[in-house]
Structure 1
Amino acid sequence: MNHTPVEGFSKMSKEGKIEWLVNEYLNGSEQAIQTLKQYWNEDLELQRLHDEFSENTLSNFYMPFGFAPNFLIDGELMCIPMAIEESSVVAAASKAAKFWIDRGGFKTQVLSKVKLGHVHFMFEGDKEKLDRFFLETLLAKLFKDTDPITKNMQARGGGILNLKLVDKTSEIENYYQIHAEFDTVDSMGANFINSCLEQFAQTLKREVYESDVFTNEEKESLQIVMCILSNFTPECIVRAEVSCKVEDLAEGNVSSEEFIEKFTRAVRIAEVEPYRATTHNKGIMNGVDAVVIATGNDFRAVEACAHAYASKDGRYSSLTHCEVKEGVFRFWLDLPIALGTVGGLTSLHPLVKLALQVLGSPNAEKLMGIVAVAGLAQNFAALRSLVTTGIQQGHMKMHLMNILNQLEATDEERAYFVNYFKDKTVSHHAVIDEFCRLRGVNSVEELKKN
């Protein structure tokens, strides 16, 4: 089917956009219209609020919003909100929390909280002259010109921490940066940082043009490429860890010595093998992202930063590590993460506000710790399953429920299948075959007809 471009889509009413979308791409389907509208909130004010979070909003896309209880974090018992659609994540986190609650719980420490931004620019003049000009003239002006922007942030204990000129000409000809470090306290700080950077660029251009230090050719060569924060924050780090005596790790038929050997070996493999590290870290981010989303923060920025940090030594590696010293097992995660508890969705989205209330209205540093704990717990649960019972046991239980939901199974049929697969391997094919046998039909197509 050939489609035609649309003019003025953003200016259409919501009904008009739906009508165009359905007619152009969904064959005028009334069912499609019903599907979009059934997720609208009956509270018109709440729906308007959601509509204004983004552009061209036609409906709401729901995700499960769950809670993982029994997290003992720095001596405080917490219940962690998690927004995620993947099976077993909340259950695994809860299981890990319960495991560690009697073994000292989780400990957190913010190691540093510096956020970064850069003015990227080109300059074809004398490098030494530019460097002296930056230190002797420009630096003070950069701070002074941003005073109106930083005043409120400084009052809260944050602001610009450091500025430096970075010579990148060995990598790209004539390329330099103003490298800026910030403390944005309890806000994620994107708008604040970007506003400062844009002012830096204006000041740089003005001061160079007005200076007698540079030739006309050098002044004309100055070009601002872009001003933008960096989502890579290797100096905004939180550590979450658990530790206990080795003998406390024994459980069921698995001795503590066997568990330690298998667990530490699994972590070591993730440290040296990028193929495993990618899946290993993805499991960490299952827990991290779920809390980040639930608390109204930017999970894409968090993901990008975590994976960049995992590659900081030139090879993609595990974000978690473990050791055994003097009879004590220790497992930890160092996570680079920039979060906010004020601004953005944190004060607008009703469920975000509720999530933060459940967490005790944490500041940004405390939330960093909570998020890191969720990631560590998820990783511990996954590794523990992998080296003992296997990861599929829990996953396939949820997979069974998903298949039965698709088949619109009754409660009695659900109970039957849970019992049926107690000692059998769950697969889509096996569930379908048994479901058809139970219903007395030969295929799924017959089920649909009935």
Structure 2
Amino acid sequence: MGKSVHGFSKLSKHEKINWLVTTFFNDDEKIKKVIQQYWNTNKVLQYLHDDFIENTISNFYIPFAIAPNFLINGKEYTIPMTIEESSVVAAASLVAKFWRTRGGFSAKVISTKKVGQVHFMYKGNKEELKNYFNSKKEDFYKVTENITKNMRKRGGGILDIELRDKTKELANYYQIHVTFETMDSMGANFINSCLEAIANEFKKPDIQIVMSILSNYVPECLVHAEVSCKVEDLYAENSEELAQKFVQAVQIANAEPHRAVTHNKGIMNGIDAVVIATGNDFRAIEAGAHAYASRSGKYKSLTNASIENGIFKFWIEIPLALGTVGGLTKLHPLSKLSLELLENPSAKELMEIIAVAGLAQNFAALRALTTTGIQKGHMKMHLTNIIKQLGASEEEKAFLIDYFEHKTVTHNAVVEAYKKLAKDK
């Protein structure tokens, strides 16, 4: 009680903050300072950020980093990554250098079809519905001509329109299933506008249109990326044994969903970081990727590995519906910069780059898991965060990093070492 508010969206930013601080933080001025210290001093830029979403009161910063030395299809890339997890960029950079000397990454877009559906209910005769659909199909293309005009000029548009009977899954449920090519645009608004026009044209008394919406499950918007080398070039020693363990680790992720979820989460660490940096929708990418991992009816790994005739091969196949025009890609200054850093790739080229980022991340994780273990690297990276939390000076930071060079890093161990250092001083 007492925490509800009316007309909140109509308040100014300062009024919103005053209400928040008064209601939840006993009018604590420190809270206002925390919120306001993240405002951009460039007012034009801050206004831009304020308009991205409703009820904005501040900015939430996530580190923007770059991972250099990626060689993809013979071309050099420095990949932008936006993520807060400490080990991701370091791992990507190390893996890029590792594979650079072994031929680099190869990647290829398999297909770029996207999907939208008009969902409707119909209780009548199925043959009559089919005949009605066939009679309207040409009209669907006509009523969307103005919407698809510019997209068709670029080589895209509506690829096919089908009637699908889904009554086995749900009584009286049918759909108009539409496939699209949206070129360098992610295409959400384009697809939804087309679907609504089609739905309006399909209306009749015995057809109940429920909704018209694109799908983020795009199994035909698919990209493949891989690396390969001689087994003997994979590790400095015990190459055969460790390569086998690596392959077994992937096989376990294909056999055990509990492992597969964490395995794929690591892949998405790399993918999401580049998706966010380039102004794309990471929630859509996540949903589509995990659905694809479940396409067999069981949740499995998005990557695979093999050893054949002395050659180690590691690859990923993943759906990625991306855009390099529209949305935040040109509106957010850092998203625009990210695409310029990648030399303004097409949507297809961006699919290849992002698939490689996911593969690189997974390679780093599996290599660590099957050799030294994941925690050693994670905690080394986490060490600097703990030191910052303790408020250590630069001199103390240098001492602690050196002190834990060959020791196990835990939060308690770092705190104890810091206390002892302060006491000795």
Give the shorter-chain TM-score range: over 0.9
Structure 1 residue 248, shift from structure 2 partner:
1.4
Q: Distance in 2 between matches of 1:366 and 1:151?
A: 24
Q: Distance in 2 between matches of 1:281 and 1:235?
A: 20
Q: Which residue of 1 aligns with 2:401?
A: 418
Q: Distance in 1 between matches of 2:357 and 2:94?
A: 11
Q: Distance in 2 between matches of 1:150 and 1:291?
A: 29
List gaps (5 residues or longer) in structure 2.
Answer: none
Equivalent of 2:328 in 345, 351, 357:
345
Q: Distance in 2 between matches of 1:19 and 1:375?
A: 43
Equivalent of 1:183 in 170, 181, 184:
181
Q: Which residue of 2 aligns with 1:124?
A: 123
Q: Which residue of 2 aligns with 1:267?
A: 250
Deviations 1:395-445 (A, max 9, x none): 11121111111111111111111122122211111111221222229xxxx
Correspondences of 1:134-153 after superposition (within 5 Å): 134-135=133-134, 137-153=135-151
Structure 1 residue 255, shift from structure 2 partner:
2.2
Q: Distance in 2 between matches of 1:3 and 1:237?
A: 51
Equivalent of 1:434 in 414, 417, 421:
417
RMSD: 1.0
Q: Distance in 1 between matches of 2:80 and 2:372?
A: 27
Matched, 1:78 2:77: yes
**1:70 touches 1:98 (CA, 8 Å); kept in 2?**
yes
Deviations 1:338-365 (A, max 9, x none): 0000001111111111111110100100
Structure 1 residue 72, shift from structure 2 partner:
0.2
> SS in structure 2 opposite 1:424?
coil
Larger mean CA deviation between 84-93 and 420-429 belongs to 420-429
Q: Which residue of 2 aligns with 1:224?
A: 209
Matched, 1:198 2:196: yes
Q: Distance in 1 between matches of 2:3 and 2:232?
A: 68
Q: Distance in 2 between matches of 1:333 and 1:3?
A: 52
One-letter amino acid of the counterpart of residue 285, structure 1: M
> SS in structure 2 opposite 1:85?
coil
Deviations 1:82-111 (A, max 9, x none): 000001100001111111001110001000
Q: Which residue of 2 aligns with 1:444?
A: none
Q: Which residue of 2 aligns with 1:214?
A: none
One-letter amino acid of the counterpart of residue 245, structure 1: K
Q: Which residue of 1 aligns with 2:370?
A: 387
> SS in structure 1 opposite 2:138?
helix
TM-score (norm 2): 0.98
One-letter amino acid of the counterpart of residue 137, structure 2: L
Q: Distance in 1 between matches of 2:104 and 2:337?
A: 24
Q: Which residue of 2 aligns with 1:307?
A: 290
Q: Distance in 2 between matches of 1:336 and 1:98?
A: 26
Equivalent of 1:164 in 157, 162, 165:
162
Structure 1 residue 269, shift from structure 2 partner:
0.4
Q: Which residue of 2 aligns with 1:372?
A: 355
Larger mean CA deviation between 230-239 and 397-406 belongs to 397-406
Q: Distance in 1 between matches of 2:158 and 2:417?
A: 65
Matched, 1:56 2:41: no
Q: Which residue of 2 aligns with 1:6?
A: 5
Q: Distance in 2 between matches of 1:378 and 1:37?
A: 35
One-letter amino acid of the counterpart of residue 436, structure 1: K
Q: Distance in 1 between matches of 2:59 and 2:2?
A: 25
Q: Distance in 2 between matches of 1:257 and 1:4?
A: 63
Q: Distance in 1 between matches of 2:407 and 2:311?
A: 38
One-letter amino acid of the counterpart of residue 2, structure 2: H
Q: Distance in 2 between matches of 1:243 and 1:200?
A: 47
Larger mean CA deviation between 373-382 and 19-28 belongs to 19-28
Equivalent of 1:249 in 221, 234, 242:
234
One-letter amino acid of the counterpart of residue 232, structure 1: Y
Q: Distance in 2 between matches of 1:434 and 1:298?
A: 43
Q: Distance in 2 between matches of 1:125 and 1:364?
A: 43
List gaps (5 residues or longer) in structure 1.
Answer: 210-218, 442-450
One-letter amino acid of the counterpart of residue 250, structure 1: Y
Q: Which residue of 2 aligns with 1:235?
A: 220
Matched, 1:22 2:21: yes
Q: Distance in 2 between matches of 1:4 and 1:391?
A: 44
Q: Distance in 2 between matches of 1:346 and 1:246?
A: 40
One-letter amino acid of the counterpart of residue 155, structure 1: K
Q: Distance in 2 between matches of 1:434 and 1:328?
A: 46
Q: Distance in 2 between matches of 1:320 and 1:73?
A: 18
Runs (4+) of structure 1 exceeding 2 A deviation are none
Q: Distance in 2 between matches of 1:184 and 1:331?
A: 30
Larger mean CA deviation between 234-243 and 424-433 belongs to 424-433
Q: Distance in 1 between matches of 2:146 and 2:5?
A: 43
Deviations 1:53-96 (A, max 9, x none): 11111101100000001000000111000000001100001111
**1:263 touches 1:387 (CA, 8 Å); kept in 2?**
yes
Structure 1 residue 393, shift from structure 2 partner:
1.6
Q: Distance in 2 between matches of 1:3 and 1:269?
A: 52
Structure 1 residue 243, shift from structure 2 partner:
0.9
**1:164 touches 1:179 (CA, 8 Å); kept in 2?**
yes
Q: Distance in 2 between matches of 1:323 and 1:428?
A: 38
**1:241 touches 1:373 (CA, 8 Å); kept in 2?**
yes
Give the structure with higher Rg (CA): 1
Larger mean CA deviation between 419-428 and 313-322 belongs to 419-428
Q: Distance in 1 between matches of 2:25 and 2:232?
A: 61
> SS in structure 1 opposite 2:391?
coil
Q: Distance in 2 between matches of 1:395 and 1:411?
A: 22
Q: Distance in 1 between matches of 2:37 and 2:317?
A: 42
Deviations 1:24-52 (A, max 9, x none): 11211111111111111111111101111
**1:249 touches 1:255 (CA, 8 Å); kept in 2?**
no
